Amino acid sequence: MKKEDLIIKWLDNNLNEEELRAFKKLDASSAFMKIDEAAHRFGAPSFDEARVFEQIQQEKGKAETKTPWTRYVSGIAAAIVVSLGLYFAFFNTTDVTYIAENATRTEFTLPDQSEVILNAGSRIVVDEDDWSSQRELQLNGEAYFKVATGTTFNVITDHGIVSVLGTEFTVNARDNYFEVTCFEGVVQVRTDDTTVRLPAGKNFKIFNGQVFDGSVTISQPSWVNAKTTFKSVPYYEAISELERQYDIEITFDPVLNNTLYTGSFTHENLETALEAITIPLNLSYDMKGKNVVLKSN
Amino acid sequence: MAKPLFQNVCNEQVFSQLYKKWSKDLYNFIYYRYGEKIGPEDKVQEAFVKLWKHCKETPPEKAKSFLFTIANNLSLNDLKHQKVVLKYQERKPREHTNESPHFLLEEKEYMQKFEKALANLSDGQREAFLLNRVEGKRHKEIAELLGISRKAVEKRIYAALDNLRKEIEGI
């Protein structure tokens, strides 16, 4: 392939592995990648959609010169529209819920062939009938997405909205923890305070009200292959994940809550997993049925 | 042939749907083309108000090109041929920093060179390049947005990349 074509394909995030190797061999490829990284810092400030719309509505009001009776009629029309809207909102929903209980994992395909793997203790709600006009779903918990190309794909969580156009990524939205990792393409994360663009290989975490940037070298989340890997996460989150994977309850000293944990555990052997999560912190464990107590040595 | 449901955009619902669909793209289009100084949000607002004033003669499928043309013309009227300079964002502090002051200084110099090189691109090149790299839009999508061919988009983005490298490296 010609050098120029190779670069153009790279610019469209469209290289296969072999082509990517060829691209990396180009003299200028490191300069290009540096340019790419720097370009991300020139993003437009976030656009205040709601505020501008309100101003437009005000300006529109000035522009209108309606006689009183048309106002009356449009009032009735608006009332009909609103009641129809409410009717459809409450009586005509076609929401489908996918659930992965503790100690299980669920895989499913969305109407546009996008693939989703739902990790233990997680739930997704999708309006499948509306899917063709709006690719949007609600996530509570953790999931891996392989999105088919098309219009914007939104994952709505309590912590913020993650938007993408055809790419691979994971979202983990738990009570006190939010993490997004991008494996291919670009995703945008929008929370109440900030908007971040994540290129492939980058991740983004929020816990204890703080934002952390990081990067990953893997090409798929490890939990897809029955293993969970952590890098600098609060200990309570590692413990909660272990509880979800084995459907057990763990008690431990809350002093450890915010200790950062880096490591991994398997989903296939509880004892090995417990060792993996206790030994690095110099702890031992005591198991009775579904209850585990961690103690310091 | 199926008759379109709405003949024009004089309907609040149609109008607000158009707003939802196009306002962000329109904002980015103006921002990357003309920069912050021009007031991209104001241009979006003016264009939509104009659309409402002309709603009777505008069928929904023509609304997008109406909006983009109006916003572009409004900006051109304001722009007195000054250079468009986009500002970069300062980085957030990292989880851990092992970056030396020397590295940080070098990085700052690089970003300043980048900013200058970006300002030297043509409006069309800068816009296509940033929509692609920053907004993550595919070449095909940019072509549809700007109403030009995909080949033209590729040419612009490639030229932008090439020019940036040459200017930054001082080749």
CB B27 within 8 A of CB B34: no
Q: Residue A214 pLDDT > 70, yes or no?
A: yes
- Check pLDDT > 90 for residue A213: no
What Å distances lie between residue A99 and A103, B8, B11, CA to CA? Answer: 12, 43, 40
> What CA–CA distance (Å, rounded) separates A157 from A289?
34
What mean pLDDT is predicted for residues A84-101?
A: 68
More confident of the two residues A208 and B58: B58
Q: What is the mean pLDDT of chain A?
A: 83
Q: Which helix (H) or strand (E) holds B161?
A: helix B150-169
Q: What is the pLDDT of residue B1?
A: 42
**Which is it for the CA torsion B99, A204, A113, A155, positive or negative?**
negative
Pairing between β-strand A135-146 and β-strand A168-174 as defined by DSSP bridges: antiparallel
Please give the average per-residue pLDDT across B15-44, as a whole number: 90
Q: Which residue of A has its CA nearest to B142?
A: A12
Place of tokens 């995030």: A13
The pLDDT-based confidence of B30 (bands split at 50, 70, 90) is very high
Q: What is the pLDDT of residues A112-134, one digit of tens each?
A: 888 898 888 888 988 877 777 78
Q: What CATH number is given for A98-215 in this structure? A: 2.60.120.1440
CB within 8 Å: B130 and A232: no
Residue type for B69, please? Answer: T
Write the CATH number of the domain with boundaries A226-296. Answer: 3.55.50.30
Segments making up each domain of chain A, as ranges: 3-42, 49-91, 98-215, 226-296
The partner residue sitting opposite B139, judged by closest CB among A12, A39, A166, is A12
Of B115 and A79, which is predicted with more confidence? B115
Amino acid at B30: I
First vs last Cα of chain B: how many Å apart? 58
Structure tokens at A132: 């063709």
Q: Is the pLDDT of residue A8 over 50?
A: yes
Residue B47 · residue B19 · CB < 8 Å:
no
CA distance B5 to chain A (A): 15
Choose among A200, A195, A214: nearest CA to A167: A200
- Segment B31-51 shows an average pLDDT of 90
Structure tokens at A204: 């983004």
| Backbone dihedral angles phi then psi of residue B50, each to the nearest 5 degrees | -60, -40
Closest Cα in chain B, distance from residue A50 (Å): 10
Give the fold, CATH level 3, of B101-169: Arc Repressor Mutant, subunit A (1.10.10)
Query: If you measure CA to CA, which chain B residue comes closest to A150?
Result: B141
Note whether A186 contacts B136, CB cutoff 8 Å. yes
8 A C-beta contact, residue A148 and residue A114: yes
pLDDT in tens, A17-38: 888 888 988 888 888 988 988 8
> How distant is the Cα of B3 from the closest Cα of chain A, in angstroms?
20
Q: To the nearest whole angstrom, how far is the Cα of B84 from the nearest Cα of chain A?
A: 13
Instruction: Fill in the amino acid letter for B115.
Output: E
Are A35 and B168 in contact (CB < 8 Å)?
yes
Contacts of B164 in chain A (CB under 8 A): 35
Residues B69-80 pLDDT 10s:
999 988 888 876
Give the DSSP H/E element, type plus range, for residue A191: strand A186-191
* Contact yes or no for B138 and A40 at CB 8 A: no
Mind listing the pLDDT tens digit for each residue in A231-274? 888 888 889 889 988 889 998 888 888 788 888 898 888 988 99
Band (pLDDT 50/70/90 cuts) for residue A230 is confident
Cβ-contact B37, B86 below 8 angstroms: no
Task: Kindly list the residues from chain A whose CB atom is less than 8 angstroms away from the CB atom of residue B40.
Answer: 44, 47
- Of residues B14, B54, B35, the one with CA closest to residue B121: B35
CA atoms of A143 and B14, how far apart (whole Å): 35
